[in-house]
């Protein structure tokens, strides 16, 4: 049943279909390869299921972003800085 749920979640995230059997075999490989890690960075959860350095991912503004942990953190920081500057500019226009 877990594999079916993962298949449905995969469909919702990527709009592509994967047979639940593939998730069952993938789960066995993940257990063999590494330890899952998760970290919260500025309110966003960055996850790594494989333990490999460039296998980090994060749901960011409704989109899945993947890459190294440092690259994802830089992307989030750049977005937050741009958002803050836009808010400051908007407040200055009101004055």
pLDDT tens-place string over residues 42-62: 999 999 988 888 889 999 989
What is the tens place of the pLDDT at every residue in 1-22?
666 677 677 667 666 666 667 7
- Among residues 10, 15, 79, the alpha carbon closest in space to that of 44 is found at 79
Name the DSSP class of 65. Answer: E
DSSP character string of 35-56: --EEEEETTEEEEESS--TT-E
pLDDT-derived band at 34 (thresholds 50, 70, 90) equals low
Higher confidence at residue 67 or residue 18?
Answer: 67
Sorted by where each begins, the domain ranges of the chain are: 1-33, 35-95
């Amino acid at each position: 049943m877990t594999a079916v749920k993962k298949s449905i979640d995969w469909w919702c995230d990527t709009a592509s279909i994967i047979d639940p059997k593939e998730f069952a075999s993938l789960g066995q490989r993940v257990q063999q390869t590494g330890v899952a890690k998760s970290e919260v960075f500025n309110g966003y959860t960055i996850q790594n299921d494989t333990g490999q350095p460039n296998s980090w991912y994060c749901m960011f503004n409704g989109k899945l972003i993947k890459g190294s942990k440092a690259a994802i953190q830089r992307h989030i920081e750049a977005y937050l800085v741009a958002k803050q500057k836009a808010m400051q500019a908007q407040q200055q226009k009101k004055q």
